Amino acid sequence: MIIFQPYGIKIKSYKKESILEIAGKAGIRINAVCGGRGLCGKCRVIIREGEVNLSKPTEAEKRALSEEDLKCGFRLACQARIEETGTVIVEVPPESQANKQKLLVKGMETHVKPKPAVKKIFVRLEKPSLQDNTADVDRLLEAIRSQTGLKVNVDYEIMKKIPHILRMSNWRVSVVVWKDKEMISIEQDSSPDMYGLAVDMGTTKMAGYIVDLRSGKVVGATSIVNPQIVYGEDVVSRIKFSEEGKLEVLRKCVINGINEMMGRICKDTKIPHERIYDMAVAGNTVMQHIFLGITPKYIAQAPYSAALQSSIDVKAREIGVEINPSAYVHVLPTIAGFVGGDTIADILATKIHEAEDVSMLIDIGTNTEIVLGDKKGLIACSCASGPAFEGSHIKCGMRALAGAIEHVWIEPGTFEVGYETIDDDKPRGLCGSAIVDVVAEMLKAGLIDSSGRFIMENETPRLRRNGEKVEFVIAWRDEASSAHDIVITQNDIREVQLAKAAIYAGTSILMRFLKIQPNDIQRMYLAGAFGNYIDPQNAKIIGMYPDLPLERVRFVGNVAGSGVRAALLSIDAREKAANLARKIEYVELAADPAFQSEFLKATYLPHKELWRFPNVTAMLNRTLR
Amino acid sequence: MIIFQPYGIKIKSYKKESILEIAGKAGIRINAVCGGRGLCGKCRVIIREGEVNLSKPTEAEKRALSEEDLKCGFRLACQARIEETGTVIVEVPPESQANKQKLLVKGMETHVKPKPAVKKIFVRLEKPSLQDNTADVDRLLEAIRSQTGLKVNVDYEIMKKIPHILRMSNWRVSVVVWKDKEMISIEQDSSPDMYGLAVDMGTTKMAGYIVDLRSGKVVGATSIVNPQIVYGEDVVSRIKFSEEGKLEVLRKCVINGINEMMGRICKDTKIPHERIYDMAVAGNTVMQHIFLGITPKYIAQAPYSAALQSSIDVKAREIGVEINPSAYVHVLPTIAGFVGGDTIADILATKIHEAEDVSMLIDIGTNTEIVLGDKKGLIACSCASGPAFEGSHIKCGMRALAGAIEHVWIEPGTFEVGYETIDDDKPRGLCGSAIVDVVAEMLKAGLIDSSGRFIMENETPRLRRNGEKVEFVIAWRDEASSAHDIVITQNDIREVQLAKAAIYAGTSILMRFLKIQPNDIQRMYLAGAFGNYIDPQNAKIIGMYPDLPLERVRFVGNVAGSGVRAALLSIDAREKAANLARKIEYVELAADPAFQSEFLKATYLPHKELWRFPNVTAMLNRTLR
């Protein structure tokens, strides 16, 4: 048996199971960025009792954990396996807990006039008599037709309820009709309430919203870490896992996650599940494939074709989502293998496809999608920006959990460091927004040069050599709830340079494609589930996006959520989404001959060609003076 | 030379040979239960040409056949002998064809031009490339559109298979499309095979047919006793059982029964279940409700309204029928609570709705449905004829299993009894057809009078008192595999009188409704899963149906099965069925003021008003003379 602390959860365990697997069974989420392969070192747990019942530390653990750590009982949850029966008490330290994450459910609000796919109709029927004993279903459909002009079919499961409900209601019922063609609910009360569920399925995070389909108002929202995370943090590891015959495991994860979010909101708002008559869902192309149980494997193999591009409506009961079982789930269309329904949702929410002026949209994540254009046309690309902005591949990086440093500033001259943590907890590590800040602040303070190299001439105890490696201390061990100083290393800076270079090169290729100068861009939308924590100025300073006046930059947060809500609320928005999916031109960066050189030049801070960043250059000169 | 029809078999004949003997040489089995002694009258044939080459009718033929019959060319095969050389064309009507199969799957064959709801299309796709990496599903749908002009959706479960099958088949696949709108199968081979399953769900028996949807041919057929029988023999007891919350139990019974039949045929024919792309099913209204899992309870309560009247298509996987899980099951429409899709099927098969002449159709069962009219219009009613003709409520009654006496004849004067049993087993009881024979033969032999009462003056040990009750012995204990003599009682005769009176009264009310005289009826179809075992002459003698010349009477057996196959094979037939269901006028017998008196008069044998049965009366007078 294993007891997990601080949760107090006990669970039976079997020989050869890893602690990570057992935690999964117990519903405890432990960070496992590398998918349990012992590479990322994020799943550190402390064995409080019963270490003798576990396997000996592996080579991976010896690499990831210091001798000190091992002595203190630290192990990697993915490596430590049960060898003997007996109780093991495992403490999951906060930095390894995946569920406390600060999760963004909010994004820019988009005004959408409700025009839902479902309608509720109150129907009065004539009672049957010996003179007219037309069958119940036929009678109901005829009453609907004569009252509304609609000729509808009946969902098979609903049909079974009709005889009983007609009689219980004394032949006065409410029916819900989907797309003017299928009856998906019959109720004996006359409540006009109609709700819908919108879900934004991120690779890392999922957000759920229950929306009043009549008013368009969000009545409840929540978010969780995508439970698939234990099987790998990025889409590539998910694809790999699905190829091992575990597609259904991944699919169930995301369905369970959606049901969990919905259950939570329904409980809070007292909305019965059966009153949720519609659902819209979007994610990247891989997530959408997994959600539908369709193999994503060919997305990752040349010529990178997805299985499905168009939108699709599937019965909730076939998918397993616990809204009204006869309702349909609308999955948004995608643009290409790596530009998914979430990007369509971004566009629906920001309406850049309807704008006179040229707009650019950057949805930052492990994959970053970029869209450029105006109402005359849009182009899109996807760049593998990597997980640095999610706190991964960074020595002291972590996700946006309590205790994560989220903002940092460095005093030029003294090099003293100030920071802010999530929930004002003692600092445990650096999350994505802090990493952007650190690089920008170090650049401004002259601690690193344009190539990203530490300038060792600066005199401060924070800048130091650690063996072969150079690092800068953000928080000292005694101020942190960590056994170590929280530092940024030369490697970390390199990771950020690569990540931001990929994004900038993407923007650059798209601009070149449309023959647009940075100054032509009237509106820049930065999006992402963590997008609004990134300081816009600092992101510009490191050269993540073109050097635009800040007033043109808008931080729209998890705007995909707003877009999915738009699609949920309005069939016109779905029609727009279908048009967008057909019309947006996808630019394959890897196939562009200019990409490599654009990428290399963009690894500089802010850029090798400083003329591209006149405002940033001016500011750096000012602060360094 | 003799030519036997409908077989088209020619065979040399010699003088003095009987037609029965010649048929035997030709391998044609004609009923001859009395062993060719001219007693049973079962070997009736029609001489279509060359009667002059035959012997003159014998006394036995004059007893067995009416003058009308003789005029029309009817002869007994055992009596008619070759007298002159020359061609004789002999038609063996279905009721004289000896058929070993007692569970009836056969009925009149109806020619239907195949126009199935499903199409199989062979599709060649362009392989995806970096230049065109349109998603698999979109690519396939576009290929179908450009090849056939069809804009189709994809069944959700099929969608999951598309990426794999496209690649396995090297981008050449066969797809099956339902109703030009939904893809329900994708296959990597190019076999054009398409099969469908037709099911006639009787209250007592079910018949299943696998049909080649391209040729329209039945490739396999079988039948079983409806497994629901353990929960009650008639629909009323099934309804009662379903009200006790056991609807799902009943539903599973019938689904399992269908799967069993299909499994049996698929095994014999080596047709894979997945190649069955469509299904049509019909039964009485209650059976259809149970099949769909919809409560039938309101059918039995005033004002007797069904839950569903229209046809419906439901996914096989939602119903649980093990054909291709993405295929649809088409359930035929019904006319009223007690006139179901099986009656619609009867009409489709007999085509009485397209006939210039007036036809009557009687589908005999526990409930007997009657349809009357011509192409200008049809009316229908249902009468509770009770289970007597299925061997129930009869002292020594039994179902048509091995050992059941199925035909009986009684020698006038001696009152000696001859009989035939199913499978030539020792007799165990009387099935429905024997019961009809017994009553008719007793009437002809003067053992009962027109009121059904035993005439005790007849001297034979077979007629005896058993306590208060009177009975007639059909088979003595020592010849039977029963501990008792097999008898027919006064009560049994009463049961038959009530049953046939209900049917006759129904025909009478319908004729009155349309202001039609018996002689206006040009064609009488007797149907039922056991219908072709009932001797038509004897059924007429007891007054089950109006006194028509026998040549107008056709025994069409389980014709509902033929009608369901028509609906399976052709969407035009389904359209016709929908029109029939809308247009046929339902006559509620219980609501007709004339019914009670019609019913009472019809309890007499053949009828209280003998002028209604001139031929039968003449024949009875002849035999009694």
| Closest C-alpha among B475, B508, B473 to residue B606 | B508
Omega before residue A606 within 30° of 0, cis:
yes
- In this structure, the answer to whether residues B227 and B316 fall within a common structural domain is yes
- Given a cut of 90, whether residue B182 has pLDDT beyond it is yes
Q: Which of A295, A312, A341 is the last residue of a domain?
A: A341
- Given a cut of 80, whether residue A9 has pLDDT beyond it is no
| Residue A353 in domain | no
Spatial contact of A184 and A137, defined as CB atoms under 8 Å apart: no
Counting every residue written for chain A, the total comes to 625
DSSP class of A515: T
- In this structure, the answer to whether residues A199 and A335 fall within a common structural domain is yes
Compute the average pLDDT of residues B216-236: 86
Query: What is the per-residue pLDDT for B223?
Result: 86
- Given a cut of 50, whether residue A532 has pLDDT beyond it is no
Asked if the C-beta of A395 comes within 8 angstroms of chain B's C-beta atoms, the answer is no
Give me the percent of chain B exceeding a pLDDT of 70. Answer: 96
Taking the alpha carbons at both ends of chain A, their separation in whole angstroms is: 63
| Residue A250 in domain | yes
Report the residue of chain B nearest A315, measured CA to CA.
B156
More confident residue, B391 or A186: A186
Report the residue of chain A nearest B309, measured CA to CA.
A135
- Given a cut of 60, whether residue B251 has pLDDT beyond it is yes
Q: Do B298 and A136 touch (CB under 8 A)?
A: yes
Asked if the C-beta of A243 comes within 8 angstroms of chain B's C-beta atoms, the answer is no
Asked if the C-beta of A359 comes within 8 angstroms of chain B's C-beta atoms, the answer is no
Asked if the C-beta of A281 comes within 8 angstroms of chain B's C-beta atoms, the answer is no
Question: What is the ipTM score, two decimals?
Answer: 0.80
Report the residue of chain B nearest A309, measured CA to CA.
B135
Which residues from chain B sit within 8 angstroms of residue A292, using beta carbons? 156, 159-160
| Residue A202 in domain | yes
Asked if the C-beta of B318 comes within 8 angstroms of chain A's C-beta atoms, the answer is yes
Q: Given A130, A298, A309, which is nearest B163 (Cβ)?
A: A298
Query: What is the per-residue pLDDT for B98?
Result: 64
Report the residue of chain B nearest A304, measured CA to CA.
B133
Among A115-119, A529-533, B336-340, B389-393, the minimum mean pLDDT is found in A529-533
pLDDT by residue (tens digit) across A481-509? 777 899 999 999 999 999 999 999 999 99
- In this structure, the answer to whether residues B143 and B210 fall within a common structural domain is no
Summary mean pLDDT of chain A: 90
Q: Which of A61, A96, A131 is the last residue of a domain?
A: A96
- In this structure, the answer to whether residues B84 and B141 fall within a common structural domain is no
Q: Given B128, B160, B591, which is nearest A293 (Cβ)?
A: B160
The domain in which residue B295 lies consists of 195-341
Collect all residues with Cβ–Cβ distance below 8 Å to A625 and sequence separation of at least 6.
none
- In this structure, the answer to whether residues A336 and A296 fall within a common structural domain is yes
Q: Given A160, A298, A318, which is nearest B293 (Cβ)?
A: A160
| Closest C-alpha among A484, A505, A497 to residue A74 | A484
Spatial contact of A121 and B254, defined as CB atoms under 8 Å apart: no
Give me the percent of chain A exceeding a pLDDT of 90. Answer: 65
**Pairing mode, if any, of strands B9-11 and B44-49?**
unpaired
Compute the average pLDDT of residues A171-182: 98
- Given a cut of 80, whether residue B6 has pLDDT beyond it is no
User: pTM of the full predicted structure?
Assistant: 0.81
Q: In this structure, how many other beta carbons lie within 10 angstroms of the beta carbon of residue B418?
A: 17
Among A189-203, A382-396, A595-609, B343-357, the minimum mean pLDDT is found in A382-396
CATH classification at residue B90: 3.10.20.30
Q: Do A308 and B129 touch (CB under 8 A)?
A: no
Q: Do B137 and A308 touch (CB under 8 A)?
A: yes
Q: Do A137 and B293 touch (CB under 8 A)?
A: no
3-state secondary structure at position A32: coil
3-state secondary structure at position B436: helix
Which residues from chain B sit within 8 angstroms of residue A136, using beta carbons? 298, 305-308
| Residue A18 in domain | yes
pLDDT by residue (tens digit) across B298-329? 998 988 899 999 999 999 999 999 999 999 99
- Given a cut of 90, whether residue A406 has pLDDT beyond it is no
d(CA A197, CA A204): 20
Query: What is the per-residue pLDDT for B35?
Result: 67
3-state secondary structure at position A529: coil
Q: In this structure, how many other beta carbons lie within 10 angstroms of the beta carbon of residue B189?
A: 11
- In this structure, the answer to whether residues B327 and B240 fall within a common structural domain is yes
Query: What is the per-residue pLDDT for B246?
Result: 92
- In this structure, the answer to whether residues A87 and A164 fall within a common structural domain is no
Q: Do A130 and B303 touch (CB under 8 A)?
A: yes
pLDDT tier, A529 (very low <50, low <70, confident <90, very high otherwise): low
d(CA A526, CA A433): 13
Q: Do A135 and B334 touch (CB under 8 A)?
A: yes
- In this structure, the answer to whether residues B7 and B90 fall within a common structural domain is yes
pLDDT by residue (tens digit) across B95-132? 777 644 344 445 677 789 999 999 999 999 999 998 88
pLDDT tier, A411 (very low <50, low <70, confident <90, very high otherwise): confident
CATH classification at residue A141: 3.10.20.880
DSSP B336-349: BTTB-HHHHHHHHH
Q: Which of A316, A341, A366 is the last residue of a domain?
A: A341
Q: Given A164, A312, A591, which is nearest B130 (Cβ)?
A: A591
- Which pairs from B148-151 meet CB under 8 Å and 24+ separation? B148/B121, B150/B121, B150/B177, B150/B180, B150/B181, B151/B181
Compute the average pLDDT of residues A210-227: 92
| Closest C-alpha among A209, A173, A216, A222 to residue A194 | A216
Summary mean pLDDT of chain B: 90
Q: Do B307 and A156 touch (CB under 8 A)?
A: no
Phi-psi region of A269 (alpha: psi -120 to 50; beta: other; left: phi over 0): alpha
Residues 146-175 in B contacting A (C-alpha not used; CB under 8 Å): 156-157, 159-160, 162-164, 167
Q: Do A135 and B315 touch (CB under 8 A)?
A: no
- In this structure, the answer to whether residues A206 and A295 fall within a common structural domain is yes
Query: What is the per-residue pLDDT for B139?
Result: 97
Q: Do A139 and B305 touch (CB under 8 A)?
A: yes
Domain count, chain B: 3
Which residues from chain A sit within 8 angstroms of residue B312, using beta carbons? 156, 159
| Residue B600 in domain | no
Q: Do A133 and B305 touch (CB under 8 A)?
A: yes
pLDDT tier, A100 (very low <50, low <70, confident <90, very high otherwise): very low
CATH classification at residue A327: 3.30.420.480
Q: Do B135 and A167 touch (CB under 8 A)?
A: no
Q: How far B258 CA sits from the closest chain A CA (Å)?
A: 20
Which residues from chain A sit within 8 angstroms of residue B578, using beta carbons? none
- In this structure, the answer to whether residues A178 and A145 fall within a common structural domain is yes
pLDDT tier, A157 (very low <50, low <70, confident <90, very high otherwise): very high
DSSP class of A352: G
Which residues from chain B sit within 8 angstroms of residue A305, using beta carbons? 128, 133-136, 139
Q: Given A303, A309, A312, which is nearest B130 (Cβ)?
A: A303
Instruction: Give the burial string for A187-207 (b: 16+ CB within 10 Å, else e).
Output: beeeeeebbbbbbbbbbbbbb
- Given a cut of 50, whether residue B25 has pLDDT beyond it is yes
| Residue B513 in domain | no
Q: What does the longest C-alpha to C-alpha distance in chain B come to?
A: 101
DSSP B92-160: --GGGB-----S---B-------B-SEEEEEEE-PPP-SS----HHHHHHHHHHHHH----EE-HHHHT
pLDDT tier, A3 (very low <50, low <70, confident <90, very high otherwise): confident
Q: How far A249 CA sits from the closest chain B CA (Å)?
A: 15
| Residue B33 in domain | yes
B562 CB-contact burial (10 Å; exposed 0-12 / middle 13-18 / buried 19+)? buried
- In this structure, the answer to whether residues A124 and A262 fall within a common structural domain is no
pLDDT by residue (tens digit) across B145-174? 999 999 999 999 999 999 999 999 999 999
Tokens of residue B252, six digits: 């599973």
Spatial contact of A327 and A178, defined as CB atoms under 8 Å apart: yes
Q: How far B509 CA sits from the closest chain A CA (Å)?
A: 18
- Given a cut of 70, whether residue A33 has pLDDT beyond it is no
- In this structure, the answer to whether residues B84 and B210 fall within a common structural domain is no
Query: What is the per-residue pLDDT for B624?
Result: 61
d(CA A527, CA B281): 55
pLDDT tier, B376 (very low <50, low <70, confident <90, very high otherwise): very high
Q: Do A305 and B133 touch (CB under 8 A)?
A: yes
Residues 555-594 in B contacting A (C-alpha not used; CB under 8 Å): 588, 591
| Residue A12 in domain | yes
- Given a cut of 80, whether residue B594 has pLDDT beyond it is yes
